[in-house]
């Protein structure tokens, strides 16, 4: 079987993860229980998640000319991700994310984009052949919107399927959504993008339909422990949750999207791809850390069993 080809245009971050008994209130200092430094960023996470499942993945990004940036490129190479279009920014430090995770596996995250703000439309145009040679393009909103738009325009010109993860949520130009085949927000992002309360499946369905009216063919609202809701023009299907003992939810949404890209590229129908991606996301939360917790295809097969494995 030929490996699916995935291109990710997006962010790279260094994750600084502290586990704490609870999330602090304003002005409070807490003593943490452990600390972990790892490689992250929504774009990089999605690229590694796809590579762990056996895809041929290319990353288009920027990092600082610093130890974190050099380490990020080495990390891509270790996972088999093509980093030939990951450039250095001589003016900005590498992006960083400070992450607190409490004993209930809830988290709070602050990101400083750094070099991610330097990823330009020209960088994307330089990677045109990589984008057009892919089966699926993944984009997010941790780099400039115009950069993401250019990537989606190139993909559309070559009939490459596209997944937009509108995170962090921000006002979006209509063109961005028209160019996305799949729009995949979480429940908070869906509420922020549409103004619709997303407190249950009915709310998720209403928010998804608002987004559908702006252009995507498929909207998947991820709902954490409640699974996800896949909505298309004439249907809405609940992707059931996968029960696991969660330890750290950081990166679960990225694991879902990276996996979704792989399974869509392999030709699975959207709902089947989302069900398999939900299993990948569930397996990613049972260990502390982000990319280091993403499962391989063998892990997924062992978890689901041969009948249901992707």
How far is the C-alpha of 191 from the C-alpha of 198, rounded, in Å? Answer: 6
Give me the mean pLDDT over the 170-189 stretch: 95
Task: Share the mean pLDDT of the chain.
Answer: 94
CA distances 224 to 38, 185, 246, Å, are 23, 11, 11
* Residue 310 banded pLDDT, cuts 50, 70, 90: low
Given 89, 174, 254, 308, the catalytic residue: 254
Mean pLDDT computed over 233-241: 94
Q: Is the bond preceding residue 168 a cis peptide, omega within 30 degrees? A: yes
Reported pTM: 0.91
Residue 308 has pLDDT above 70, yes or no: no
Considering the segment(s) 5-304 as one domain, its CATH architecture is 3-Layer(aba) Sandwich (3.40)
Size (the chain), residues: 310
In the predicted model, is pLDDT for residue 199 greater than 60? yes
Residues 258, 167: Cα–Cα separation, whole Å: 14
Average pLDDT of span 61-69: 96
Distance, in Å, from the CA atom of 229 to the CA atom of 164, rounded to the nearest integer, reads 16
Beta bridge partners of 182: 163, 218
Question: At residue 307, does pLDDT exceed 50?
Answer: no
Residue 254 annotated in active site = yes
Most distant CA atoms of the chain, gap in Å: 55
Q: How far apart, in Å, do the first and last CA atoms of the chain sit?
A: 13
User: 238 pLDDT band (50/70/90 cuts)?
Assistant: very high
Question: In the chain, what percentage of residues exceed pLDDT 70?
Answer: 98
Cβ atoms of residues 229 and 208 within 8 Å = yes
Q: Greater confidence, 17 or 184?
A: 184
């Amino acid at each position: 079987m030929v490996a699916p080809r995935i291109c990710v245009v997006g962010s790279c971050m260094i994750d600084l993860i502290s586990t704490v008994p609870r999330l602090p209130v304003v002005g409070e200092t807490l003593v943490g229980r452990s600390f972990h430094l790892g490689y992250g960023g929504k774009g990089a996470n999605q690229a590694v998640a796809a590579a762990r499942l056996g895809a041929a993945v290319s990353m288009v990004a920027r990092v600082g000319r610093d130890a974190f940036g050099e380490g990020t490129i080495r990390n891509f190479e270790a996972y088999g991700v093509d980093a030939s279009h990951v450039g250095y920014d001589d003016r900005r430090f590498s992006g960083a994310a400070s992450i607190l995770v409490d004993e209930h596996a809830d988290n709070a995250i602050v990101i400083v984009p750094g070099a991610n703000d330097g990823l330009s439309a020209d960088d994307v145009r330089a990677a045109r052949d990589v984008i057009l040679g892919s089966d699926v393009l993944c984009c997010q909103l941790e780099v400039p919107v115009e950069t993401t738009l250019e990537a989606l325009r190139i993909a559309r010109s070559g009939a490459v399927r596209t997944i937009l993860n509108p995170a962090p949520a921000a006002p979006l130009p209509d063109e961005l959504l028209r160019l996305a085949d799949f729009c995949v927000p979480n429940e908070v992002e869906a509420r922020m993008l549409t103004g619709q309360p997303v407190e249950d499946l009915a709310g998720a369905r209403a928010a998804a339909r608002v987004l559908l009216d702006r252009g995507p063919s498929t909207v998947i609202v991820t709902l954490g422990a409640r699974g996800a809701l896949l909505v298309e023009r004439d249907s809405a299907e609940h992707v059931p949750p996968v029960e696991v003992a969660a330890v750290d939810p950081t990166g679960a949404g990225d694991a879902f999207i990276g996996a979704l890209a792989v399974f869509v590229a392999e030709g699975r129908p959207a709902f089947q791809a989302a069900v398999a991606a939900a299993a990948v996301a569930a397996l990613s939360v049972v260990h502390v850390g982000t990319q280091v917790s993403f499962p391989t295809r063998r892990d997924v097969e062992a978890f689901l069993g041969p009948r249901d494995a992707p």
